[in-house]
């Protein structure tokens, strides 16, 4: 494959959780193209499974979709150098009040490879104990809900769950860890 070459990167806007760049690229046929890039510091997510087999989910309003979603607990890193396992543990505690005895790496995903470098590491959390109430950020409003795996798989099939990290995490759990 021929080489694609970046000629210039220009910061268009700096945001609270992302930065927007426009790259000037030379593509292999010699043409010059403008490509957008959303730069994200990364995130971590958790498939949290209680002793009774129910998965801990969070329901929250998502501005980009203008509606509520049901998702696995997740959140951005507190800087690019923060270990994602640490962020996953923190987000589980903050969003749900649960602490995990065991946490295991499942996979990494890139959410939108065409224009965004957001990488989310997904973990499995077990041995859960409710330690405290939620510790949400000022701009967060999150409801904690509990579902059987079969309920969540149905919601995925019926497109009632459309969040990529949630779908990926639940399907990996179902395929590799769930025992009926």
Distance CA 50, CA 166 (A): 17
Three-state DSSP class for residue 83 = coil
pLDDT value, residue 135: 60
pLDDT value, residue 176: 86
What CATH number is given to the structural domain containing 128?
Answer: 3.90.79.10
Q: How many domains does the chain have?
A: 2
The DSSP secondary structure of 107-149, one letter per residue, reads EEEES-TTTB--EEEEEEEEEEEE-S-----TT--EEEEEE-H
pLDDT value, residue 140: 66
49 and 11 in a common domain? no
CA distance to 26, 51, 88, per residue, from 122 (Å) = 35, 20, 8
Catalytic residue, candidates 138, 140, 145, 151:
138
Look up the domain containing 14 and give its range: 5-39
pLDDT tens, residue order, the chain (180 aa): 679 999 999 999 999 889 999 999 999 998 999 999 999 999 999 999 999 999 999 999 898 999 999 999 999 999 889 999 999 999 999 999 999 999 999 999 999 999 999 999 999 999 999 886 756 556 667 789 999 999 999 999 999 999 999 999 999 999 987 666
Distance CA 91, CA 85 (A): 10
Three-state DSSP class for residue 54 = coil
35 and 90 in a common domain? no
144 and 69 in a common domain? yes
30 and 46 in a common domain? no
19 and 77 in a common domain? no
52 and 34 in a common domain? no
74 and 35 in a common domain? no
169 and 140 in a common domain? yes
End-to-end Cα, the chain, rounded Å: 46
Three-state DSSP class for residue 150 = helix
Active site residue 132: no
CB-hemisphere CA count at 13 Å for 91? 32
């Amino acid at each position: 494959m021929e080489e694609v070459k970046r000629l210039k990167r220009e910061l268009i806007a700096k945001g609270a959780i992302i930065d927007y760049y426009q790259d000037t690229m030379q593509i292999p046929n010699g043409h010059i193209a403008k490509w957008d890039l959303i730069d994200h510091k990364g995130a971590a997510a958790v498939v949290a499974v209680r002793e009774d087999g129910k998965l801990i989910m969070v329901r929250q309003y998502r501005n980009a979709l203008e509606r509520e979603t049901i998702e696995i607990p997740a959140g951005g890193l507190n800087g690019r150098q923060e270990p994602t396992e640490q962020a996953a543990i923190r987000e589980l505690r903050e969003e749900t009040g649960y602490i995990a005895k065991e946490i295991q790496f499942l996979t990494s995903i890139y959410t939108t490879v065409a224009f965004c470098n957001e990488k989310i590491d997904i973990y499995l959390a077990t041995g859960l104990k409710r330690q405290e109430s939620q510790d949400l950020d000022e701009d967060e409003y999150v409801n904690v809900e509990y579902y059987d795996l079969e309920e969540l798989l149905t919601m995925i099939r019926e497109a009632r769950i459309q969040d990529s990290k949630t779908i990926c995490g639940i399907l990996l759990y179902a395929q590799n860890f769930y025992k009926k």
